[in-house]
């Protein structure tokens, strides 16, 4: 199943979930038996579990390897912080500003790679 198909399925399931919520409210208003309301709640919870699984799968596909991404961002952030500290100490200001901009570009590229 493609990511696009998973997103479509997620939209459809979300609509169903909202309708089950409405059904539960409607059943309560119509004074349905507690057993019926309990069954609706159980089905709603099962549907929510499946939606959460699909969301988790889409999220993992979207971000890829989170540990690698975090390490890359942490490394760039350390480099940015060092350049800013050097700028604050009046050490090679122009050179460090150029470095910071390059590191910010790296962070932007990492973030852009997350968007399909």
Q: What residue ranges do the domains of the chain occupy? A: 3-63, 66-114
Taking phi first (over 0 means left), then psi (-120 to 50 degrees means alpha), and beta for anything else, what does residue 2 get?
beta
pLDDT digits (tens, 9 = 90+) for 44-96: 888 888 888 888 887 777 666 566 777 887 888 888 888 888 888 888 888 88
Across 2-11, 23-32, 47-56, 73-82, least confident range: 2-11
**Which alpha helices (DSSP H) does 1-65 contain, by range?**
3-29, 34-63
71 Cβ contact list (under 8 Å, min separation 6): none
pTM score, whole prediction: 0.54
Per-residue pLDDT, 60: 74
């Amino acid at each position: 199943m493609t990511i696009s198909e998973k997103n479509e399925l997620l939209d459809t399931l979300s609509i169903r979930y909202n309708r089950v919520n409405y059904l539960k409210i409607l059943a309560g208003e119509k004074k349905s038996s507690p057993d019926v309301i309990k069954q609706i709640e159980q089905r709603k919870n099962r549907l929510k579990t499946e939606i959460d699984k699909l969301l988790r799968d889409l999220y993992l596909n979207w971000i890829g390897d989170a540990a690698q991404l975090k390490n890359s961002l942490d490394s760039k952030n350390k480099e940015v912080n060092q350049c800013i500290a050097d700028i604050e100490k009046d050490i090679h200001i122009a050179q460090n500003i150029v470095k910071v901009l390059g590191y910010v570009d790296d962070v932007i590229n990492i973030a852009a790679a997350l968007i399909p």
